[in-house]
Amino acid sequence: KKRKRGRRLQLLLLHLCFLQRKQRRYSELGKRKEEAKKRKEEEEEKKGKKGKERKGVDAVVAAAAGKEEEERRKEKKNRGRRRGRREERRRKKREKAATRAAARREEKNNRRGKEEEAAAGGTKKKNKEKKERKEGRRRLGL
């Protein structure tokens, strides 16, 4: 069997070439971006006052944005508090409902227990009467 001996090496070299091209391309892009930034800065400096005004306006806009951000944060905090209160109320309602349900169950069980006791009490009376009759018969029989 023939083996492709240089294939792996060939692929490695190809990949290295690809990486080099990629690196060159990105470095060129970076250089272009830097040049564009420098050009813009120079243009703004040439304009002078306009550039300063823009910077001032930018500062005002940034301050306004900061205020809005702060307001948003406060609003978010308040929403969280409201949500917390709402959840607390819901939890209390659930607890109240649970205690009511437990009380109803207890009451129902008590009623059932009393009915059973009453029923049992009736049988106890009957049994007692039977015993008395038997005893009375025994006495008579003696």
Mean pLDDT of 97-117: 86
Are 36 and 44 contacting, i.e. CB atoms less than 8 angstroms apart? no
Structural domain for 106, as ranges: 19-117
Question: For residue 4, what pLDDT is reported?
Answer: 67
pTM (2 d.p.):
0.30
d(CA 63, CA 55): 12
Helical ranges in 1-48 per DSSP H: 7-47
Query: Running DSSP on this structure, what letter comes out for residue 5?
Result: S
- Structure tokens, 95: 């607890």
**Percentage of residues in the chain with pLDDT exceeding 70?**
85
Are 60 and 66 contacting, i.e. CB atoms less than 8 angstroms apart? no
Q: Give per-residue pLDDT as tens, 42-78.
A: 888 887 755 556 666 677 777 777 888 888 888 888 8
The number of folded domains in the chain is 1
- Structure tokens, 33: 């971006």
Domain membership of residue 141 (yes or no) is no
Domain membership of residue 81 (yes or no) is yes
* Residue 51 neighbours by CB distance under 10 Å: 14
Domain membership of residue 138 (yes or no) is no
Question: For residue 90, what pLDDT is reported?
Answer: 92
